[in-house]
Amino acid sequence: MNTTLAAGANLDFSPAQQLTVIALCALTAFISHMALAVFNDGVRPFMLDFIQGRSTRSATTAVSFGLSAGFIFGLGAPMALSTGVLNPWLLFLPTDILGLLAPKKWIAPILGGAWGAVVVFGLNGANDVAHDLPVDFLTAMQQMSTPILFLFTLFPVLAITKQFGRVWGGVAGVLELALVVMTMKIWPNMFAGALAMAVGVLMLIGLAIAKDVRERKAARAEGGGVEEVVLADDPMASLFSSSAARLRKFLPLFMVLGAGVCVLAQMHIFGGGEATSFLIAKGHYSEAAQVDFYRVFGFIPLIATTALASGAYGIAGFTLVYPIGYLLPNPFLAAIVGAAVFAVEVLALSYIGKFLGKLPSVRDSSEHLRSAITDTLQLAILFGSLMAANAMGAGLGILVVGGLYLLNEAMGRPVVRMAAAPAAVIVGGILLNLLYWLDLFTPIKG
């Protein structure tokens, strides 16, 4: 209990860190204003119409707000509050919106920078206030890390089962379980799921590539060539190449962006994925790097194809700069490496698109991976939230948090399911504090 308490309480941003966040938010808002990149994968497909002038700035802003609001308040904010670590939903979804909203080029970075300031100063304040409350629900939320970490380990197994059936899924499950047990026994200091996750992801990619190669051979054997003809007058190819050319034109700006995101990750005040914030908060940087590295495989095809289709890239690129950033020893190196990674990503974008076009099963795998990540995290976050509820208010806590979650379900999920439980913990925590002031609830001693 003591170690988790320390991890949540001692995160104060240094002036250099505050400046980095503010500057980066200004930059991302500017880039969003120029329609060069947005963080929300859901907004990207709508950028093409905006870039080509078929839809207005205000209409695009409305789309961006509609698709991001739930994730900012439901996922980004509770995650940042409970860990004290920043995340992309809290930083980059609002800068997507603010950048698009800004009517003039110079207003975008001002709005973005202002948001960055609100976050760094507000998060510290909110964190301090919440930790001083009689019912400290933020410390209770640290309970989420165990189920998240251990269940996340299983995501390759679920993806393999969905894509390649029960037998392969079973094999992967047994293999991963054996590796977790072995890791715990032989390397007790290593994150137990690290090796299992690596093997699981490699197995999925191996199976997918094998399937694609097999099918291509089969197609060629029965007189292939059909695919090539379709590709020759392919509207996709022309759309993709004009998008890639547009992005390449702004390569220096993207390199600055890559440097900024990588430096932020290097400062260890930022977690890129759902599971990562908790790991960063506890100082487990290499584990965080592994988790975010495997997560990348679920997103490369999505980000590449939406970027090539829309002409707008991802604010964090393929998100490879997160794990690289966590591991680098200093911010200067992070800036150089981050810029280089983004340069390679942007330059390679059209090759990656072409390559993925030939590997349908690999693209399939990435969709199954993302679906599996959601499934594991949904259970983990729900279970972790109930554990947090138990830690802060025992039965009454479980009643309130579980009840709010069920109510959200019954109302047709106004709050995204993934975020419903953590949001319920915060609401429940505030409620328990109110009950304490009314003398109706005695806090549980941790």
Partner 1 sequence: MKKILTGGVGKVEVTGTVKALALDGIDIVVSSDMDAAMKLRVGQADFYLGTCHTGAGASLGVLVGLMGQPACHTFGRSVPTEDEVNSLLDQGKKVFGFSMDQIDVIAPLIARAIAARA
Judged by CB under 8 A, the stretch of 214-222, 254-262, 302-310, 330-338 that binds partner 1 is 302-310
The CA–CA distances, whole Å, from 42 to 5, 128, 317, 372, 430 equal 36, 34, 15, 19, 32
CA atoms within 13 A on the CB side of 395: 0
Q: At closest approach, how far in Å is the CB of 135 from partner 1?
A: 30
Q: Which residues between 174 and 203 bind partner 1 (CB under 8 A)?
A: none
How many Å apart are CA 308 and CA 349, to the nearest integer? 8
The correct pick among 42, 114, 126, 327 for binding partner 1 (CB under 8 A) is 42
The correct pick among 364, 379, 383, 443 for binding partner 1 (CB under 8 A) is 364
| Binding flags for partner 1, 258-297, as an x/- string (CB under 8 A) | ----------------------------------------
The correct pick among 34, 198, 360, 383 for binding partner 1 (CB under 8 A) is 360
- SS3 assignment, position 318: coil
Q: Which residues between 51 and 70 bind partner 1 (CB under 8 A)?
A: 54-55, 63, 66-68, 70
40 binds partner 1 (CB under 8 A): yes
How many Å apart are CA 353 and CA 62, to the nearest integer? 29
What token pair was written down for 324?
Answer: 């690289």
Are 95 and 38 in contact by the 8 Å Cβ rule? The answer is no
Q: Which residues between 207 and 246 bind partner 1 (CB under 8 A)?
A: 230, 235-236, 239
| Torsion sign, CA atoms 101, 105, 109, 110 | negative
Residue 143 or 365 with smaller CB distance to partner 1 = 365
* Ramachandran category for residue 378: left, alpha or beta (phi over 0 → left; psi -120 to 50 → alpha): alpha
Are 219 and 239 in contact by the 8 Å Cβ rule? The answer is no
The correct pick among 5, 9, 34, 45 for binding partner 1 (CB under 8 A) is 45
Q: At closest approach, how far in Å is the CB of 306 from partner 1?
A: 6
The correct pick among 83, 290, 306, 385 for binding partner 1 (CB under 8 A) is 306
What are φ and ψ of residue 313, in 5° steps? -95, 180
End-to-end, the C-alpha distance of the chain in Å comes to: 7
435 binds partner 1 (CB under 8 A): no
The amino acid present at 117, given as its one-letter code, is: A
374 binds partner 1 (CB under 8 A): yes
155 binds partner 1 (CB under 8 A): no
Q: Provide the Cα torsion 383, 389, 394, 399; round to 10°.
A: -90
36 binds partner 1 (CB under 8 A): no
44 binds partner 1 (CB under 8 A): yes
46 binds partner 1 (CB under 8 A): yes
The correct pick among 19, 23, 41, 114 for binding partner 1 (CB under 8 A) is 41
3-state helix, strand, coil in the chain (%, to 5): 80, 0, 20
How many Å apart are CA 381 and CA 46, to the nearest integer? 30
Q: Which residues between 394 and 433 bind partner 1 (CB under 8 A)?
A: 412-414, 416-418
Q: At closest approach, how far in Å is the CB of 446 from partner 1?
A: 33
The correct pick among 73, 268, 357, 444 for binding partner 1 (CB under 8 A) is 357
Judged by CB under 8 A, the stretch of 27-35, 287-295, 300-308, 397-405 that binds partner 1 is 300-308
Residue pointed to by tokens 């490369």: 300
110 binds partner 1 (CB under 8 A): no
73 binds partner 1 (CB under 8 A): no
Q: Which residues of 86-100 are buried (b: 16+ CB within 10 A; e: fewer)?
A: bbbbbbbbbbbbbbb
The CA–CA distances, whole Å, from 354 to 188, 238, 357, 363 equal 43, 12, 5, 12
Q: At closest approach, how far in Å is the CB of 213 from partner 1?
A: 18
The amino acid present at 189, given as its one-letter code, is: N
Q: At closest approach, how far in Å is the CB of 327 from partner 1?
A: 28
379 binds partner 1 (CB under 8 A): no
Sequence length of the chain is 446
Residue 258 or 314 with smaller CB distance to partner 1 = 314
166 binds partner 1 (CB under 8 A): no
Residue 286 or 374 with smaller CB distance to partner 1 = 374
What token pair was written down for 333?
Answer: 């190196």
Residue 144 or 307 with smaller CB distance to partner 1 = 307
Residue whose C-alpha is closest to residue 277's, from 121, 128, 77: 77
Residues that bind partner 1 (CB under 8 A): 40-46, 48-49, 54-55, 63, 66-68, 70-71, 162, 230, 235-236, 239, 302, 305-306, 308-310, 357, 360, 363-364, 367-368, 370-371, 374, 412-414, 416-418
